[in-house]
């Protein structure tokens, strides 16, 4: 199958979804451009700060992107390109986009508070407490997974302590150096825009020039050689500081600048895919469909039955519960006008779907190179989804720029850098969100952090909440990305189901059309609970064996707890929906 044709059709389908379905959703929910948003009503210069739409979209897009739309489709490609593509397009338009847009809108109408507040409004305080526990556990897995990914991308050793050597080590050193310089550049950009009032246009030009400069410096000067474990400690310290600083200092400017990397990545990928096709090599060697069940792979691809493994593995490429936490955690506190919610939330989700399709094209181009046994795969260097993504696109560039062109190596390094920057963005955004949820848990209805006294005041302290989150998340991340990702994927998708339940119930309460949520929320509940039950059964089989370390028991316990919490919330939601239907019929 021709990769360029798949990409062009996918972009057209997603664009139609944004224009027509996105507009219909806005009409059904009552988006009102005349209403004042929480960013203005509650502006505090720290969390509530009105942001220009391009800046906010940069933050939102960078935060939700992470490694998900890259890792997921590449790992799921083992099932065939047809099921992956269908789920990315259908899931993105009718599941993920609705989820993200609905969560942002609901939060805007609840003073920029989390989905927990939306649940309290629709289902009561106990349901809110249950959701906060559920969401907090999921965010700990996000912090653990993404800190592990970043440390693996930067480190001179793997999570298992194996030294990284040769070209791979150089790439890790370059990525680490550029990422550090990127943070410095973001702080300078934020100072110019928010303290010196520089117009966004000239500041953006300076920012792009700065990105080019730091990439050039980092490629030539990269003296950083630090182990995986050391990087985990450094990342813990970084997110500890980054998640409590005012958003204008680092979060908004860094995420806005990182969005240029993402746009660059998408633009280069589109050129690469179309260029390779024109050169007669834009093929997608993945079979249309391979098997209903994959029992063994080389470690790069997913295993399990197509249902539910496909839907859990693709994750952020179609729908992600983490998105609802970003929408209702940081984005809703910065949005300038309700009308901007559609491009920021629904639009960002569909652009993420484009990244997922690009990832599918990338793995398809190097399919025969990576679909081999473990020993042969190790020799290629394409042993992780990030490497496959960067390698596939850079090799496509080589089909028309020349196989030995320096451009191939530059593109590879830039793509690895982009992925690491998005992971860093998601990492400290997740930490900030976890801090919000930890604080919210201790508050009574209508109580704020400023109102509390005594022990509650200590528990609601932002620094205490952040320290607890960092210690637990980074500690879990020390075990390595491979042990966390399967549980994270299922928990993340189950959170999406809960987010859909929450917004659906609230819309029903305020008398708005919520029927577009019915199929997505039921489907995601079934998919993710099935996946978590499989995880629990797999862990239980290891109990008492030589392979049963402490993390086997912890992961089994977490999976079981997530299932129970989700089922309780589902019962709450369905009872409330039935009550609403009965009242509507009686009226």
Reported as a single tens digit per residue, the pLDDT across 475-530 is 888 877 666 766 777 788 888 998 999 999 999 999 999 999 999 999 999 998 99
3-class secondary-structure state, position 283: strand
Could you tell me which residue, 427 or 16, shows the higher pLDDT? 16
What confidence score (pLDDT) does residue 486 get? 67
> With pLDDT > 70 as the criterion, what percentage of the chain qualifies?
99
At residue 326, does pLDDT exceed 80?
A: yes
How does residue 62 score in pLDDT terms, banded at 50, 70 and 90? Answer: confident
CA distances (Å), 434 to each of 89, 443, 464, in order?
Answer: 30, 15, 12
Alpha-carbon span 201 to 193, nearest angstrom: 10
Q: Any residues with CB less than 8 A from the CB of 179 and at least 6 apart, and which?
A: 154, 417, 420, 421, 424
As a whole number of angstroms, the distance between CA 476 and CA 464 comes to: 18
Report the run of H or E that residue 343 belongs to, with start and end.
Answer: none
pLDDT at residue 481, rounded to an integer:
66
Query: Is the pLDDT assigned to residue 440 strictly greater than 90?
Result: no
At 256 the pLDDT is 81
Q: What is the pLDDT of residue 445?
A: 78
Residues 369 and 380: their CA atoms lie apart, in Å, by 7
The secondary structure of residue 543, as a DSSP letter, is: T
Q: What pLDDT is attached to residue 145? A: 82
β-strands 304-305, 293-294: how paired?
antiparallel
pLDDT in tens, 549-586: 777 888 788 888 888 888 888 888 888 888 888 888 88
Backbone angles phi, psi at 72, to 5 degrees: -60, -60
Q: What is the mean pLDDT of residues 444-459?
A: 82
Where does residue 545 fall: left (phi above 0), alpha (psi -120 to 50 degrees), or beta otherwise? beta
Q: Per mean pLDDT, which range of 240-244, 258-262, 288-292, 575-579 is the poorest?
A: 258-262
pLDDT, position 389: 93
H helices present in 305-405, as ranges? 306-314, 321-327, 341, 348-365, 367-370, 374-380, 385-401
Distance CA 540, CA 305 (A): 19
The per-residue pLDDT for 352 is 94
- The pLDDT value recorded for residue 173 is 87
> Taking all residues of the chain, what is their mean pLDDT, rounded to a whole number?
88
Which pLDDT belongs to residue 358? 96
Q: 95 pLDDT exceeds 90?
A: yes
Q: Is the pLDDT of residue 449 over 90?
A: no
Mean pLDDT of 396-420: 86
pLDDT at 37: 94
Band (pLDDT 50/70/90 cuts) for residue 360 is very high
In percent, how much of the chain has pLDDT > 90? 36
Cα-based distances in Å from 478 to 236, 299, 400, 489: 11, 20, 42, 18
> What digits encode the pLDDT tens for the residues 288-316?
999 899 888 888 888 889 999 999 889 88
57-85: average pLDDT: 88
Which H helix or E strand runs over 304? strand 304-305
Structure tokens at 108: 């805007």
Q: What is the pLDDT at residue 485?
A: 67
> Pick the residue with more confidence: 60 or 101?
101
Q: Is the pLDDT of residue 162 over 90?
A: no
Q: Look at residue 524 in the predicted model and tell me its pLDDT.
A: 93
Nearest to residue 189, comparing CAs of 271, 251, 122?
Answer: 251
Report cis status (omega within 30 of 0) of the bond before 316. no
Q: Is the pLDDT of residue 415 over 80?
A: yes
């Amino acid at each position: 199958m021709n990769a360029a044709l798949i990409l062009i059709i996918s972009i057209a389908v997603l664009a139609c979804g944004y224009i027509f379905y996105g507009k219909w959703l806005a009409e059904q929910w009552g988006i009102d451009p005349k209403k004042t948003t929480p960013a203005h009503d509650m502006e505090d210069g720290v969390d509530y700060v009105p942001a220009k739409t391009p800046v906010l979209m940069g933050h939102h897009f960078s935060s939700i992107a992470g490694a998900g739309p890259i890792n997921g489709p590449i790992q799921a490609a083992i099932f065939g390109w047809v099921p992956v593509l269908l789920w990315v397009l259908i899931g993105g338009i009718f599941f993920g986009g609705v989820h993200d847009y609905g969560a942002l809108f609901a939060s805007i109408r609840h003073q920029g508070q989390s989905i927990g507040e939306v649940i309290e409004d629709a289902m009561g305080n106990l349901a809110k407490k249950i959701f906060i526990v559920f969401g907090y556990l999921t965010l700990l897995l996000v912090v653990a997974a993404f800190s592990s990914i970043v440390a693996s991308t930067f480190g001179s050793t793997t999570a298992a302590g194996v030294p990284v050597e040769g070209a791979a080590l150089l790439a890790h050193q370059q990525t680490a150096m550029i990422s550090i310089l990127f943070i410095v550049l973001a702080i300078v950009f934020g100072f110019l825009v928010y303290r010196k009032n520089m117009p966004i246009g000239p500041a953006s030009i300076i920012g792009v020039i700065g990105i080019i400069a730091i990439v050039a410096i980092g490629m030539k000067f990269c003296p950083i050689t630090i182990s995986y474990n050391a990087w985990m400690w450094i990342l813990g310290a970084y997110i500890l500081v980054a998640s409590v600083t005012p958003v204008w200092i680092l979060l908004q400017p860094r995420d806005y600048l990182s969005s240029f990397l993402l746009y660059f990545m998408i633009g280069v990928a589109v050129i690469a895919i179309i260029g390779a096709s024109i050169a007669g090599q834009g093929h997608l060697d993945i079979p249309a469909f391979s098997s209903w069940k994959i029992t063994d792979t080389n470690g790069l691809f997913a295993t399990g039955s197509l249902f539910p493994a496909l839907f859990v593995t693709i994750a952020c490429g179609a729908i992600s519960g983490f998105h609802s936490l970003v929408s209702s955690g940081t984005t809703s506190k910065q949005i300038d006008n309700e009308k901007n919610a559609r491009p920021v939330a629904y639009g960002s989700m569909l652009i993420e779907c484009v990244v997922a399709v690009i990832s599918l094209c990338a793995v398809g181009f190097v399919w025969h190179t990576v679909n081999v046994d473990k020993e042969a795969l190790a020799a290629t260097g394409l042993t992780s989804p990030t490497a496959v993504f960067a390698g596939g696109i850079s090799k496509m560039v080589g089909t028309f720029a020349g196989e030995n062109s320096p451009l191939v190596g530059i593109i590879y390094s830039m793509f690895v850098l982009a992925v690491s920057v998005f992971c860093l963005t998601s990492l400290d955004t997740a930490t900030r969100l976890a801090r919000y949820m930890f604080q919210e848990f201790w508050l009574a209805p209508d109580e704020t952090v400023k109102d509390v006294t005594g022990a509650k005041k200590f528990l609601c302290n932002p620094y205490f909440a952040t320290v607890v989150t960092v210690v637990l998340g980074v500690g879990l991340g020390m075990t390595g990305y491979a042990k966390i990702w399967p549980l994270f994927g299922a928990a993340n998708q189950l959170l999406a189901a809960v987010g859909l339940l929450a917004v659906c119930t609230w819309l029903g309460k305020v008398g708005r059309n919520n029927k577009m949520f019915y199929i997505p929320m039921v489907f995601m509940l079934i998919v993710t609970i099935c996946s978590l039950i499989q995880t629990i059964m797999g862990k239980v089989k290891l109990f008492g064996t030589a392979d049963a370390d402490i993390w086997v028991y912890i992961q089994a316990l977490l999976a079981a707890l997530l299932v129970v919490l989700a089922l309780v919330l589902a019962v709450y939601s369905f009872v409330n929906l039935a009550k609403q239907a009965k009242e509507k019929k009686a009226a």
